[in-house]
Amino acid sequence: MAMELRDIKDYVKKYKLALKYHIEDNLTENPKLAIIQVGENEASTRYVRNKVKDCKEVGIEAEVYFYPENTTEFELVDEIEHLVEFYDGVMVQLPLPPHIRAEVAVAAIPKEKDVDGFRRDSCFDPATPLGIVNYLDYCGFEWTGKEVTIIGRSDIVGKPLARLMTNKDATVTLCHSKSKLSNHLYDSDLIVCAVGKAGFLNCYPIHCPVVDVGINRDAGNIEYCRLNNITIQPWSPMQHGFFKGCFIDNEKFPELNGTLQRIGEKYGVSKTTIAFSWILRHPAKMQPVTGTTNLERLKDCLKATEINITREEWYEIYRSAGNILP
């Protein structure tokens, strides 16, 4: 049977229903899950909220434990070691604050309760690789003897995905930054790209299905929307990706934050206000959705409607973010 791409929403709906029936028919008590979040990362809060919603739909009792940003690594590990006694599974929502090592927090969870599958010896497969394999099964992909190329060798996606696909009798090639991709892509029956870079495969001739694991925010979407009179509503635009937190005051973006600070001082407003002002002045006429419940941050965002940065300042911020003008 040839592979047929099928609606992933239908797949998720059916998978949830099957899990719900499995719990009802085979367990005497509903599973209990503890979800741990440290700090007020807006993207993490949304993900945690969705996890709780999904758990409720299938019959899993999920409890969320919030800890302040200044929680120490020792305190968090102590809390995790306490919680694991009362729950069937424990999840630590990433990212954690910079002073807490994710590998240390995850190591505090017993392997039989590490439902995220982040431990190397976990009793569970990581969710993303398992979801990819299950979805391809749902689409009728025939694994035996197929040549699969995986680009990206992370411990969370690339490596466990290679193991799962090898167990399906596929011949898997795991590529990385030092690999000569052109030697592997042409003869592939399936390509999985897990590098998180928009347009990464554009320069290669591709003759097979591609699974893009990364979520890229710049893949010609802005240009398409402008040409077709579609209004873009960026959600939580201060976030640096989905799991890495806000770029404001992030040490990884010193030049950008320096520019926002200097321009903000000129107008007497915060860096957040200037960043939102930049979005409002974008030629695509975007309508940003703040995605925050923090009152002070919301006030800073609203002040952006009163600021009109100059054209030169707009391009200076654009370049400070690492973009190159044509």
pLDDT tens-digit readout, 69-84: 999 999 999 999 999 9
Q: Are residues 264 and 285 in the same domain?
A: yes
Measuring CA to CA, how many Å separate 304 from each of 259, 268, 273, 280? 16, 11, 5, 8
Question: How confident is the model over 151-184, as pLDDT tens digits?
Answer: 988 888 899 999 999 999 999 999 987 888 877 8
Q: Which structural domain, as residue segments, surrounds residue 103?
A: 31-113
- Asked whether residue 315 is assigned to any structural domain, the reply reads yes
Q: Are residues 308 and 231 in the same domain?
A: yes
pLDDT tier for residue 234 given thresholds of 50, 70 and 90: confident
Q: Are residues 159 and 72 in the same domain?
A: no
- Asked whether residue 1 is assigned to any structural domain, the reply reads no
Give one word for 173, left, alpha or beta, with left for phi > 0 and alpha for psi -120 to 50.
beta
Q: How many domains would you assign to the chain? A: 3
Instruction: Decide if 196 contacts 175 (C-beta within 8 A).
Output: no
Instruction: Decide if 183 contacts 158 (C-beta within 8 A).
Output: no
